[in-house]
Structure 1
């Protein structure tokens, strides 16, 4: 086991459980193992799944720890230190201290049954790297800190010069996740795509649907700022569900807009209660892609007969492979300057993390982002 020298420290915002404030602590910056990288975080977004943890949704209600832990996962940074034999990123580009990078926040084991079947995004051991006390090596296991420890099996890529930090921060979760989802859902030229939720996932889904050749892209949300961003991302129609008397009424409106429903409908809200009405937006023979509800312990009412009689396919997607991250960076480099920034509309300092979560929860910002001092 590698040890930390203790000669350098970095701040981390420790999370102790739902309803409790974060606490900033100094932790030792570790020396990297062979094949590992220590990244100095420059920007970290508050993702929807972080809000689930913070609120204690479903199984996350039992996520508190007396010694705290570092949460957060959507980030970018620069190389602080390279482990032995690390000279390039996963695409073969030279890598040196100071280079801007993005990395996977989880680690596929490569040995479990899903991994051996070529489904690394379904690795049963992917979250094992999250485990451990902040006082134990490698200390920095989450994004809401000044450093992050990139383990040897975590894909790491240099960020193209044309892509700024505010944009790059969304690569290792929202955009890579959507790249994986679009491949799995087999989006085709001419498809009608409906997107529930215009957070980070939903905004990227909008842009990818447009690039994939969708004939119509409809985005449903209840926050005006998000809906405007969705339009800028390429949505043909936006639907503010707060303007309707019921979810069923807004679903009916979406069916009317799409002449019978979407060929592909994405759930990117993160609340199981929206699934029932999301399924009502799917056309016969269409597909419903479930991605937003990442916590267990809750259920949604589903009319199974409707699924059968309307030939609806259910598809769930979590995590992504290294190829998806490479494709995400290429997408951002090709569209640099032509798409709005998804991850930087509301920057906060690390010491303001409690306020950042509160304002993200209230829907006052499209995407809260923590900016670290370099």
Structure 2
């Protein structure tokens, strides 16, 4: 008897996801079957649900996932990114994409921008290709997916965030260059911002300024290592930039106002990394004369590369209990209550809502 997977289908904006039960197909060459243990609802999932992002439909949303290996194709190399042997029962995380290095446009520095990229949680369901999103009991990992084995002691909720928010934050710090001994300004205190603050703290930043419009989020920033906070709705708070020369600005908010302020207040040789502006909005204005005279560098980041992914895994392994990461998953739901989870996330705007999967196989 074939094992059956359950998944929840997104067919259009602001419509309830529908349940589908389907036999799990035989694995193709190089594939791995994973029993999903936990999925968190990323902001991009919610943007898609609300129609602010377009994804091919029908689809299975969810890409912040952690799970346990249930089957490995005999033709798979059998190793994770560190060269450790993969076994049935291993708890693993993986890149949000599969990137074929044999394509003509492949670049090792930016594998996430490869031609014909396979992105989990962002694909259309077809008869031949369905188990590719996190709002499901199972997922099939395709060849050229970077995998890391995790300790079974780690919080599943925290581990689920590694392959999106944490890895993207690692990529932002890579582009920011040296943060040790520097003054850092991070705008947008969601999960990306909080992770970036903790990473800067661990890397020995001198001052870490967190800015947002939400006082509760700014209070969270302090618990993750921010030395100063700025409420962008309080003009008087901006006087802090007169006392601290900012060396690095990382924007996770996507707000044109925040980006304009952050770039404007950079000091000489300052660097800005823009991450959050992945949706339609007004154009961001930049004072070109200041960019030139201050010798500024401005970079954009979309997703992350393999180095960032491994940096993220190592960071969480070392620090998930040092900072209050578990508290950021503010409410959990069983998978079968996915529509209630989405409604909660949209109404309450938590850092993350989590979905756990009940299973009788490959217990961890």
TM-score, reference length from structure 1: 0.86
Alpha-carbon distance change, 359 to 91 in structure 1, aligned in 2, over 3 angstroms: same
Tell me if 1:43 matches 2:38: yes
Report how far residue 24 of structure 1 moved. 2.0
Alpha-carbon distance change, 34 to 297 in structure 1, aligned in 2, over 3 angstroms: farther
Tell me the SS of whatever aligns to 1:231: helix
Tell me the SS of whatever aligns to 2:97: coil
Find the aligned partners of 1:16 and 1:329 in 2 and give their Cα distance: 33
Tell me the SS of whatever aligns to 1:230: helix
Residue of structure 2 in register with 1:75 after alignment: 65
Find the aligned partners of 1:315 and 1:339 in 2 and give their Cα distance: 28
* Aligned residues of 2:60 and 2:122 also touching (Cα < 8 A): no
* Residue among 205, 211, 223 paired with 2:196: 205
Residue of structure 1 in register with 2:362 after alignment: none
Tell me if 1:13 matches 2:8: yes
Find the aligned partners of 2:27 and 2:244 in 1 and give their Cα distance: 56
Report how far residue 34 of structure 1 moved. 2.3
Alpha-carbon distance change, 151 to 271 in structure 1, aligned in 2, over 3 angstroms: farther
Residue of structure 1 in register with 2:184 after alignment: 193
* Aligned residues of 2:182 and 2:248 also touching (Cα < 8 A): yes
Find the aligned partners of 1:328 and 1:156 in 2 and give their Cα distance: 12
Find the aligned partners of 2:253 and 2:339 in 1 and give their Cα distance: 22
Find the aligned partners of 2:251 and 2:227 in 1 and give their Cα distance: 18
TM-score, reference length from structure 2: 0.88
Instruction: In structure 1, list runs of 5 or more residues that go unmatched.
Output: 1-5
Residue of structure 1 in register with 2:238 after alignment: 252
* Residue among 126, 129, 152 paired with 2:143: 152
* Residue among 338, 341, 354 paired with 2:325: 341
Tell me the SS of whatever aligns to 2:342: helix
Residue of structure 2 in register with 1:3 after alignment: none
* Aligned residues of 2:272 and 2:299 also touching (Cα < 8 A): yes
Q: Matches of residues 1-374 of structure 1 in structure 2 within 5 Å?
A: 7-57=2-52, 60=53, 62-63=54-55, 65=57, 68-86=58-76, 87-112=78-103, 115-116=106-107, 118-127=109-118, 133-242=124-233, 244=234, 249=235, 252-256=238-242, 259-260=244-245, 262-272=246-256, 274-295=258-279, 299-341=283-325, 344-374=329-359
Alpha-carbon distance change, 72 to 118 in structure 1, aligned in 2, over 3 angstroms: same
Tell me the SS of whatever aligns to 1:311: coil
* Aligned residues of 2:231 and 2:237 also touching (Cα < 8 A): no
Instruction: In structure 2, list runs of 5 or more residues that go unmatched.
Output: 360-364
Tell me the SS of whatever aligns to 1:345: strand
* Aligned residues of 1:193 and 1:216 also touching (Cα < 8 A): yes
Report how far residue 112 of structure 1 moved. 4.7
Report how far residue 79 of structure 1 moved. 0.8
